[in-house]
Structure 1
Amino acid sequence: MDRAALFDVDGTLTDTNYLHVVAWWEALRQAGHRVPMHSVHRSIGLPGEDLLDHLLGGDRDPAQDDRLSAAHDTLYATWFDRLPALASVADLLRTLAGSGWLVVLVTSAKDRELSALRRAIDADDAIAETSTSDDVEEGKPAPEPVRHALRLVRTPPERAVFVGDTVWDMRAATRAGVTAVGLLCGGIPRADLEEAGAAAVYRDPADLLARLGDSPFAAT
C-alpha cells in the first residue's frame, strides 16, 4: 500500500512566512487596522477569511474581506520571482519520492501563488499531487485539506505523515488521524507545535532529511 508524505508549503518548504506577515500587515494598515506583526505571524497558515477573523475579531467587517485579501495578494506577488526555498527541500522531497512515498503539497495558496512556490522548490518531478484551499470548504486547522490530500493519492491516514510549521498544520493533521511532524523554520516555538499534536519536531527540512531514518517516516 502506498504511503503519503504530505507537506505544507509556506514556512515549511519555502522561507515565506515573514513575507506574508509584511503583506498582511500592510494590507491591514492601508485599510486602517493597526495589528502588531507578531499577531499576524501567529495567524499565518489560516485561510484568508479565518485569518482576518482571528486578527480583527469584533472590528472585522466581512464586506472588506475581498479588498483586504486582494491587497495582500498584490503585495505578496511582488516577491514571486524571488521566493526562497529552504535548504535541502528538493533533496528531501526527492529522497522520499525515491523511497516510494507519494509527495503531496497541502497549501492555502491560490493557483498563481502555488506556481511561484513550486518554481522556488524546483522539485516537480517528486510531487505527485497538490491540494489547495480551493479544493475544500474549510481550511486548516479543519481536517478537510488533509483528508482531501489523502483521497487524491488513495492513502489511509495511518499510512501518511504530514509536515508543517504551524499549530494549524498540527491540528489539521491530528484531526485527520495523520501523524504530524513540526518544523521550527516557520517561527513557531517547539512547545506550541508539540501541544498542537506534533509527534516530532525538527529544525528545518535539512534537519529532517538528516534524521529521516529515525523520524516518523521510518515508522510509517
Structure 2
Amino acid sequence: MSEPRIAVLDVDGTLVDTNYQHALAWYRAFRSLGETYPVWRIHRLIGMGGDRLPAALGGEDTEQRIGQQARDRWSEEFDRLIDEIAPLPGARDLVAALRERGHRVVLASSGKAKHVDHFLDLLAVRDLAEAWTTSDDVESSKPAPDLLQVALEKLGAAADTPSVVIGDSVFDVEAAKNAGMPAIVVRSGGFGDDELRDAGAVAICDTPGDIMAVLDTTDLS
C-alpha cells in the first residue's frame, strides 16, 4: 500500500451522471436568448466552468451580450432536470474504498452550492468526504488549477501534498496538470481515450466502480 494521499474527486459527470442534462440546460438557456448552438458543441465544453462556457461557445461578444443571462437561465433549466440525475455506477463505493485505504477525500466541484448539496445527499457521502467545494470558492474555474488548490486548502494541506485527481473531462486533466497532480478519468464525460491521454490522464475507466479495480496500479494503491 502506498503512503496516504489526498484524492480530489470531481462531482458533476464523475460521480453523478449530469453531463447530458448540463448540455441540454445550456442549449435551452441560449435558445431562450435567441442563440441556437448544436448540442454536440455544447457537450464538448461540459466540464469547463460556466464562467468560461459562453465565450468558449460563441466568442467574447456572446459573453459580453448574454453571458450572465445565459448562466442564470442555465441554472433555472438545470433545476428542472435535477431529479432525473442518478449516481454513476460504483460512485459511493469508490469514495468508501479510498477512505478504507487511508486516503483523505475532498470533492472538488465548481457547481452551485444548492446543486452540490443535492448531489452530496444523492451520493450519501457526507460521512466519507472530509470537505467539498462549490462555485462560491473560486473566481477562475477549470482548466485553471484554482479549484483543486482550494480543495487542498479545505483540508489544511499544502499545495505540494501528494494528491490524485479523479475526473471525467479533458478540463479536469488539464486542471490537474496545472496543479501538478496526476489524473484518473472516467469515460462518462464523453471524451475519446486519445484526447484524455493526450491531455495527460494516467488511467481511464468506464465508471467510478471500475476505478477500484485499478487502484493498485495507481498512486492510490
| TM-score of the superposed pair, with normalisation by structure 2 | 0.93
2:200 is the counterpart of 1:197: yes
Work out which of the residue numbers 113, 126, 129 in structure 2 matches 1:127. Answer: 129
Query: Aligned runs of 1:65-214 on 2, under 5 Å?
Result: 65-153=67-155, 154-157=157-160, 159-214=162-217
Deviations 1:156-175, CA, capped at 9 Å, x for gaps: 54511001111110010011
> Which consecutive unaligned segments of at least 5 residues does structure 2 have?
none
More helix by share: 1
Equivalent position SS for 2:220: helix
Local SS of the residue matching 1:177: coil
1:16 alignment partner AA: T
SS of the residue 1:124 aligns to: coil
What is the one-letter code of the residue matched to 1:187? G
- Return the match for 1:16 from 11, 18, 38: 18
AA at the equivalent of 1:69? R
| Paired letter, 2:7 | A
8 Å CA contact retained: 1:45, 1:108: no
- How does 1:59-70 map onto structure 2 within 5 Å? 59-70=61-72
3-state SS, counterpart of residue 11 of structure 2? coil
Equivalent residues, number:
218
Which residue is 1:37 aligned to? 39
* Runs of 4+ more than 6 Å apart: none
Distance 1:180 1:61, change over 3 A: closer
Q: Distance between the aligned counterparts of 1:4 and 1:52, measured in 2?
A: 32
Judging changes above 3 Å, is the alpha-carbon distance between structure 1 residues 121 and 79 closer, same or farther for their aligned structure 2 residues?
same
Contact between 2:6 and 2:161, CA under 8 Å: does it hold in 1? no
CA distance, structure 2, for counterparts of residue 176 and residue 148 of structure 1: 11
Q: Aligned partner of 1:173: which letter?
A: A
The answer (yes or no) to whether the contact 2:55–2:67 under 8 Å persists in 1 is no
Deviates more, 1:61-70 or 1:94-103: 61-70
User: Which amino acid counterpart does residue 10 of structure 1 have in structure 2?
Assistant: D
TM normalised by structure 1 equals 0.93
Partner Cα distance (1:213, 1:157) in 2 = 22
Equivalents in 2 of 1:58, 1:50: separation in Å? 10
State whether residues 150 and 157 of structure 1, in contact with CA within 8 Å, keep that contact through their aligned partners in structure 2: no
Inter-CA distance 205–132: structure 2 relative to 1 (3 Å threshold):
same
Unpaired runs of 5+ in structure 1?
none
Alignment identity in percent? 33
